[in-house]
Structure 1
């Protein structure tokens, strides 16, 4: 990072945070004497208090088969990490080899000396950390719990002991970030629980001095250096979830009870701070809503299992988060693609690639009950079965919505959709809320008033996703940029000023003016605005109106710029990679493969702009889509350029062909192909 970045980062901190960080730096230097075998381990009272799960936790046969198949792949050394495969074969993997680049990080450096932002030295630190979250170990443990096949348990224990040996306290890249320590503690608790009853399992965990040292060092680190101020987002949730879970399940030390109380108090406070009153997460990132919900749910289940339940208010807020997630899913049970997403999980008990949204919702439904309007969820996913069996059921109907909400006024999210899901469901999410959370807004994108549109769950006009965090600056900038989202860019500048890969220097916010028909009727209409460019020449204000005509099967988008002079503008429509596009005199003819053949739509583009088509370009970067962290693919971007006069209307309209038109339209597409 450059000196300018450090200056900007310091400016984002309040005085109290600066003092906390100064204190932490002082302690970190003092802790150098504690590194490795010098870690001062207090007297431990070996005890496992996390209980066991019944061997017959019911999973459908298909779920067990998938779990076993993935566990067998792990035994063979195959474990997917984003777009790569981690080398985890045998009993002693290389925990310092980046699966993305092949680079190897130094194992012995004191954790504050590790240049973890330097990909040239270290590789992709996100991928390195992902392996050491040890999700493959909890999956092996779950496979053992279902099958009692000792091979899975033996490999799980071997990998844990390997990690403990090669990562002594405070040494190396895996001690840099608190979120990683917290997630590892959750993995250790669940591995021990799922392996309960295995001969000698206590000797591998609570009676093992190597484990005791690792546990104590992790817990001390989290209690001492937990995230504060502008960093207290989902990282703090993971840190405190790990501290709470491990202190309750492994009460080995005199400080264990105090650490558990600290974790519980922080989580009860943070669930209120990090959640809007309407239930959505304040980071303005759909993937992080699911991640935060899972972290909080795991922590609450651990507290229940230990007989120290969190307050009812915590569970009510958790329920509101679950309801908000259920309300924003489309007919394929896909969530919103807003802001950052890195495929993070608090606890992995299913093969990678399973939907985190449905698994977490399934667990919430088992504990809190399924609202009548929730979508139908897959039955018997491992995460839902195991978590749902750990906590007691609760009935908290007071204040719970009796019908599916489509407007989230505090978060600034609206869903325009058909009344019933199905193969032809039109689903549209519009962003008109705050930019992000805390002074950094770390996981936000410059996407004010952007929308995404789906038909029958197929993404048509889409959000680009995230792709990367570290090491590829230009790609990080593109995927967060305004032009990568379905909204209006003015003056050739993003709506928000970027200060670094997780830092925004300005925080534009949207405003809701009117909404009608979101819950019933033939038309749903919403009017919003944002003033990101108010301080630019012309003092521009962007107004946008969306009208979903359910009977006409169309969505109209009206954009107007208010100001004192004409401004240069670019209006972007980003198509999903599976959507093909043909331009014909200001009309984009769209087609994609549906369940019963080719589906078609017509996008009439606004007059007064010059339209160009971009796909997979790199100079400059334009026309890309990421379907998961570390992966990207070309996608079509329709880009309208021009000078926009004050009050000029830019009217777009996309119409999905009705069923009677399908036959003729498909024949036409086939003939032209």
Structure 2
């Protein structure tokens, strides 16, 4: 029993790197009681908050107005929105109430003494924190501004007064995470801008005192943040300090907050973003989350040009993935994380991308301002007299395929196919070279989602490992191998070539090195061929015979059934080929398999197809390729071969009729 614990500690220390001693000292402070000295409660001197507008006082368009009023009514009547449902926390139950159990987190203990991680904890704290981000209170403030005689103002006042009474500085679970304090500060800023002049003076004063204490908390927590949270948490904490310095310019340490926040934000920004718009967050949900942080930094004013550049690139990345054409694969961890307030669909990411583009000067379609709360409440009013060309999503301007951040999107005939070759170190899943497929706008092969972070580990790992994704596994190995709830024991990089667009087919190729380790190292490659009548996946390995067998899981959407060599989705039937003798599992608990999670904390049965083979090269897919049974040497008149080298891999595509040859290079 000792050995695994020591190994886990060693992995943790390796992951923390040079910051490990700082993190160790921080943990020792918590256990020794020194935290009681560091976190001495609220700031001593009171300062009134200055108005720092982040939100429009009135929305652009009537549809956003009505959405807000309808949502506000649901907040007061049904509760706050938390992961696809409404909860009593804050509305008809105390703010420290866990929505899952109905019980309260400890209210009289300082936050560092509350157990949120071990098996003995009360529950998954994310549910309580989600309610405590107060985005729904921003909705009530908007409604109070739109309809001064409605019940919104009184409802908001009651919720805020209760919060201030129940959440004194450094007490209770809602002070545990610095990121939660920063997000709440962003929400409270908007509330004060919308209705601060109408709130009772005692409520405003209490909010100001808690905001000042939040700034102090963020500063004291810096050792933990910089040693362990070099991802969205560090950006969010930095953003909170920048905002609070603007809100309280007369505070003695305001300049220090601002300087520290700006330096942290700039340093993490350099680590966080790639020039093509990708982030270290290998997750669509967290991409939206961080994109909204960039939005807030731009709205605050005075942002370096690099912030706007990153915002534009991050927004275009989502556009290239097809977010303006419908839903996209739920890559990586998904938990509905938001910085901005919206009464729209919590699963939508297009509105945030549209806002990012608007703030970078793009002229957007008028209907988007009606469709997206993000534009209606945060964007400047569009100049309809401007002559600039209207923004067109990249998926509409490049026929055949678009690529971004190691992902290719192919549209041809009834098919829409995503090929994810590369990933990032934060919040990603073991899904290098995964393929996700829609047919006629309906999901067939669909990302199974996240399930949970803090729930049962078998669920967490059951949905994030390679066994839950359509990737080849030599001898059943996982690409990354999970460690605890968020970390991985290994790393892997993928390399994507440029799309090959032929008159009747589109071909994308990539490979990864996640298995290039251990006793039997192997590189794995894939070519994805999309024609009007089929989608084919051609598998390759280097070196051949590096594995005794190969495993593959194909997770289907919950509404798709597998019947022999046919997938059935509603009235649509699509052929399945190359997976002879497959097994199907649906809703199995032990071991956990055959599930789909549409949002955090929820999962439903879905069919997973599992197959085994002993061939290093193979072909499988959907639809019906013409001619003889497909193989890499003869697939619908094409032959495929991969040449491997230290510099990468090259796919050779040969037209077997004309002899014409095409090369797709995917360098390291």
Q: Which of 319, 323, 328 lines up with 2:312 in the alignment?
A: 319
Contact kept? 1:80, 1:86, Cα under 8 Å: yes
Relative distance call for 1:189 and 1:21 in structure 2 (3 A) is farther
Any residues of structure 2 matched to 1:527-538 within 5 Å, and which?
527-538=509-520
Q: Give CA-to-partner distance per residue, 1:514-569, whole Å, 9 cap, x none.
A: 33335x743221222223223344433222111112xx332110112333454222
Which residue is 1:492 aligned to?
Answer: 476
Any residues of structure 2 matched to 1:246-285 within 5 Å, and which?
246-285=244-283
Distance 2:534 2:14 in 1: 46
Relative distance call for 1:557 and 1:119 in structure 2 (3 A) is same
Any residues of structure 2 matched to 1:342-491 within 5 Å, and which?
342-351=335-344, 353-370=345-362, 377=368, 379=370, 381-389=372-380, 407-408=402-403, 411-418=405-412, 425-434=414-423, 436-437=424-425, 441=426, 443-491=427-475
Distance 1:165 1:649 in 2: 65
Distance 1:133 1:2 in 2: 35
Distance 1:391 1:20 in 2: 48
Which residue is 1:211 aligned to?
Answer: 207
Residue aligned with 1:622, SS: coil
Which residue is 1:603 aligned to?
Answer: 576
Relative distance call for 1:414 and 1:371 in structure 2 (3 A) is farther
By how many angstroms is 1:407 displaced?
5.0
Contact kept? 2:534, 2:624, Cα under 8 Å: yes
Which residue is 1:237 aligned to?
Answer: 235
Relative distance call for 1:390 and 1:102 in structure 2 (3 A) is farther
Relative distance call for 1:561 and 1:101 in structure 2 (3 A) is farther
By how many angstroms is 1:167 displaced?
1.5
Contact kept? 1:290, 1:356, Cα under 8 Å: no
Q: Give CA-to-partner distance per residue, 1:392-448, whole Å, 9 cap, x none.
A: 999999xx9985595546x32111223xxxxx65222212114x22xxx4x121111
Residue aligned with 2:263, SS: helix
Distance 1:5 1:391 in 2: 54
Relative distance call for 1:379 and 1:125 in structure 2 (3 A) is same
Q: Give CA-to-partner distance per residue, 1:145-171, whole Å, 9 cap, x none.
A: 222245212222221221122121111
By how many angstroms is 1:203 displaced?
4.7
Which residue is 2:330 aligned to?
Answer: 337
Distance 1:310 1:657 in 2: 53
Q: Which of 593, 596, 621 lines up with 1:625 in the alignment?
A: 596
Contact kept? 1:59, 1:381, Cα under 8 Å: no
Residue aligned with 1:57, SS: coil
Compute the RMSD of aligned alpha carbons: 3.2
1:655 maps onto 2:623 in alignment: yes
By how many angstroms is 1:243 displaced?
2.2
- Give the aligned length: 613
Contact kept? 1:78, 1:88, Cα under 8 Å: yes
1:294 maps onto 2:286 in alignment: no
Distance 1:172 1:538 in 2: 50
Which residue is 1:184 aligned to?
Answer: 184
Contact kept? 2:479, 2:515, Cα under 8 Å: yes
Residue aligned with 2:598, SS: strand
By how many angstroms is 1:360 displaced?
1.1
Residue aligned with 1:460, SS: strand
Distance 2:494 2:527 in 1: 13
Distance 2:54 2:235 in 1: 25
Which residue is 2:173 aligned to?
Answer: 173
Distance 2:592 2:35 in 1: 45
Residue aligned with 1:44, SS: coil
Which residue is 1:663 aligned to?
Answer: none
Any residues of structure 2 matched to 1:126-205 within 5 Å, and which?
126-198=126-198, 200=199, 203-205=202-204
Contact kept? 2:500, 2:506, Cα under 8 Å: yes
Which residue is 2:499 aligned to?
Answer: 516
Structure 2 portions without partners, runs of 5+: 627-668
Q: Give CA-to-partner distance per residue, 1:180-228, whole Å, 9 cap, x none.
A: 1111111111111121442x455532xx1x3333112211111232322
Q: Which of 585, 599, 609 lines up with 1:614 in the alignment?
A: 585
Q: Which of 546, 563, 567 lines up with 1:590 in the alignment?
A: 567
Residue aligned with 1:49, SS: coil
Contact kept? 1:83, 1:630, Cα under 8 Å: no
Contact kept? 2:89, 2:99, Cα under 8 Å: no
Q: Give CA-to-partner distance per residue, 1:597-621, whole Å, 9 cap, x none.
A: x2232121245xx311111111222
Q: Give CA-to-partner distance per residue, 1:94-148, whole Å, 9 cap, x none.
A: 1222112333211122222211113543211111111111122111112112222
Distance 1:294 1:39 in 2: 30
1:544 maps onto 2:526 in alignment: yes
Distance 2:217 2:398 in 1: 42
Which residue is 1:668 aligned to?
Answer: none
Relative distance call for 1:606 and 1:76 in structure 2 (3 A) is closer
Distance 1:367 1:463 in 2: 31
Residue aligned with 2:609, SS: strand
Residue aligned with 2:267, SS: helix
Any residues of structure 2 matched to 1:17-28 within 5 Å, and which?
17-19=20-22, 22=25, 26=29
Residue aligned with 1:414, SS: strand
By how many angstroms is 1:580 displaced?
2.3
Distance 2:582 2:240 in 1: 51
Distance 1:323 1:371 in 2: 14
Which residue is 2:36 aligned to?
Answer: 32
Which residue is 1:669 aligned to?
Answer: none
Distance 1:73 1:366 in 2: 30
By how many angstroms is 1:314 displaced?
1.3
Structure 1 portions without partners, runs of 5+: 419-423, 659-673
Relative distance call for 1:55 and 1:184 in structure 2 (3 A) is closer
Which residue is 2:76 aligned to?
Answer: 75
Tell me the TM-score normalised to structure 2 length.
0.84
Q: Give CA-to-partner distance per residue, 1:455-494, whole Å, 9 cap, x none.
A: 2432211111101000311000100111111111222221
Residue aligned with 2:498, SS: strand
By how many angstroms is 1:264 displaced?
2.9
